[in-house]
Every structure is written in C-alpha cells, then in structure tokens.
Amino acid sequence: MRTLDDLIKVGVRGRRVLVRSDLNVPLSKHDTPTVTDDGRIRASLPVLVRLLEAGARVIVTAHLGRPKGAPEDKYSLRPVADRLAQLLGRPVQFALDTVGESARLMADGLSDGELLLLENVRFNPGETSKNDAERAEFATALALLTGGEEDGGAYVDDAFGAVHRAHASVYDVAKLLPHYCGDLVRDELAVLQRLTGEAGDVERPYVVVLGGSKVSDKLAVIEALLPKVDRLLVGGGMCFTFLKSQGYEVGKSLLEADQVDTCARLLAESGDKIVLPSDVVVAPEFSADAPVLTVPVSQMPADQLGLDIGPDSVAAFARVLHEATTVFWNGPMGVFELAPFAAGTKGVAEAVTGARGLTVVGGGDSAAAVRALGIDENLFGHISTGGGASLEYLEGKTLPGVAVLSES
C-alpha cells in the first residue's frame, strides 16, 4: 500500500491532489450553523498541511450527515469550511457543488499551496449509488477535477471513518488515479492490527468495553472478540437485553427481545469473561429533569427506564480496567448527553485512561463523550475517528476503502 510519504517523495508541487477527508462533524441548529465538535477536522489537518506545505493544489471531498443524493441546506459543508480555515490559519476555498461548474472552475484556478473544499459529496446520487455505472460516472467526474493521471492528478484517502463504505469517493475514484493511504488511515490500521493480533501477540490482560444502544449493532464484534479477550465489560442500553436473558426485570429500558436468546447463549458460552452492571440509574422518563434513582439490577422497578450504569458497576469495571494492559472501548455507558446520566460514561472513561499499555477509544459516540465530558484526549493511547469502520475491522470484515488502496 503506497503512503503519503511515497507521494510527497515523488513531488506534488503544481499537482492537483484529491483528498478524501472525514469531516462529518456535528453542527449547531442555529440559523447560522457552527461546528460543535471539531475532533474529526483536527484529525484531518496533518495530511492537508503536509500536502499544502509541499506545494500541492489540494481538493478535499467529504460528506456530512445522510442527505438523499440532493442538496439540503442543513447538510452543507460551508460551516466546516469556515472552521477548517480557522484551524489551518489560511483561506479555504469552497465550491458550491460537487463536480459542477463551481467545482470545475475553482479546481482549475487553484495555485500551489491552495485548498478547495467541495460541497457535501453525498449531494450527488452517484456517491452512494448501488449502480456500479452511476457510481463510476461520478468517480470519473471527481477524478477529472485533478486533471486526471495524465495531468499529474493523484488521490489520497485519509477518511478512516468512511473506508468501510464502497462509495464513489472512497472506492471507485481510487481505481482511476494513482492512490495513496493518508497518515490518519495508516495510523488507525496500525492500532487495530495491534488489537487483532496481526501486529504480534496482544498484550494481556486484554479488556474490551462495549456500550451503546443495541446488542444487534455489536453482536458481530462480540462474537469475534470473545475468543481473544480476557474480559468483556457491557454497559449502555445493550446491557438490558443481557440482564433480561438472566431473568431480571428491565422495566421500560431499551430491550431487543429477539436478541435475548443470543445473549443467554453468549453468557452460557463465555460467562466467565462477560461482566455486566450490578446496579443501574433509572428514571420514569428520558429527561434531564426526571427524578433519578440508583437500584441494584435485581430491583429494577417495572415502571422505570434504565439510563446509565450505577456507581457500583463503575467501580467494578474500573477494577478490571486497572489490571488491563490492552483496552478497547466503544460505546457510552449511558445517556451521557444528559447530566444525570453521564457519570457512568465519565467514570469508565477515566478508568480507561488509568490502564497501563494500549488504550483505544473506538470512535463514534465514545470519542464524542470524551470531548463532551471534558476528559483530556491525550490521556488515551488512541482515539479513533471511525466507530463503524473500527468495529467492522475487528469483526474481520474487508473494508472496501482499504482493500482498493492495496491494489497497484
């Protein structure tokens, strides 16, 4: 797999380089939206800066949200362009379309060391189309913004959060231009290889912490990791399906009835590895103002809703994490966005920072929680920018955006 080092070594001055970045960040809901969490933008800066300082004419393509293949104001990358310019400390040009007249004229007008951000790539139906020809047509138009291979065009994929998608800007365009792996994607893969044992034996004890809403979302990674880990700590909404499988009352908590038997099987097969909460924080409704109660899992009221793990569970999880040498955490322990239900996630996050050895935050809501709860990101060994991509890699799936970069 060719890297950004290889591209810069052959020279990029005067060449147009198409970079797929991950700029899918949350925006405020004001009349003039602003970026509320710029973690992914900051993670994208090193590759962009390296290319700009080497004299490349950089064209960035990225997505935001899930528009339906047509422009929607709430998904415009304009606020992202503004924040990117602030962080770069230099102007960022912004095209009003993806491959239309605005994009073509602005790409043609770039000078050495200048950067152009295209409008949300998912505003074009070809980006996510399941029709190979439609996707290839859009990828060709993207590639032509660089002038094509004959004119020195190149492609760099630095969007780890999108490499598990066979989309035009991630997969098809790499087949049309000399392609290179960005530093962010390279580093993400190196960390994941340490977690899977591909980079040598995993240092033990190896502990995985999983949270989030649904067992079904994490089932494949649970099945893949259980044979490899020493302990699997389960929190978040998904814990209630496990607790139900043990015969506990779960009240109005999130429950996947069709996964109860699966959870029972997992506990029967690997119950010595799986650690479930012993107490939970409950309320009658999903509200920051609702009366809150902490109860043992054996005393869950039928009219209450479980919204966080309790302090005894946090302490138990922390004891396991204190002994760990390798930790992977994906998914919050509760509804951390509401203050009464944030303590579980914060407590577990702080315990992860205290583990010796490699500590990995698996992107998505976990990474968002770290920033929202004010925990120093530097206390973790690695914070992934791609929760879905991380999980699929750990499941053993082939990531299309990675596989295509490996092709000559």
Query: What single-letter amino acid sits at 105?
Result: L
Q: How far apart are CA 280 and CA 296, in angstroms?
A: 6
With beta carbons less than 8 A apart as the criterion, state whether 189 and 390 touch: no
Binding-site residues from annotation for ATP:
218, 306, 337, 363-366
Does residue 310 sit in helix, strand or coil? coil
With beta carbons less than 8 A apart as the criterion, state whether 59 and 18 touch: yes
Catalytic residue among 126, 235, 310, 388: 388
Give the pair of three-digit tokens for residue 8: 């810069």
Catalytic residue among 16, 20, 40, 231: 40
Verify whether residue 364 is a known catalytic residue.
yes
Catalytic residue among 90, 214, 228, 371: 214
Give the pair of three-digit tokens for residue 176: 């049309």
With beta carbons less than 8 A apart as the criterion, state whether 177 and 155 touch: yes
Catalytic residue among 364, 386, 387, 401: 364
Query: What single-letter amino acid sits at 202?
Result: V
Verify whether residue 214 is a known catalytic residue.
yes
Verify whether residue 40 is a known catalytic residue.
yes
Q: How far apart are CA 135 and CA 112, in angstroms?
A: 30
Binding-site residues from annotation:
22-24, 40, 63-66, 122, 165, 218, 306, 337, 363-366
Binding-site residues from annotation for substrate:
22-24, 40, 63-66, 122, 165
Other Cβ atoms within 10 Å of 260 Cβ, number: 17
Does residue 370 sit in helix, strand or coil? helix
Verify whether residue 334 is a known catalytic residue.
no
Any idea which residue has 């392609």 for tokens? Answer: 179
Give the pair of three-digit tokens for residue 47: 């590759």
Residue 62 CA: distances (Å) to CA of 24, 93, 117, 135: 7, 14, 8, 16
- Residues with Cβ < 8 Å from 114, sequence gap 6 or more? 52, 57, 58, 91, 93
Any idea which residue has 């020493």 for tokens? Answer: 230
Q: Which residues are catalytic?
A: 40, 214, 364, 388
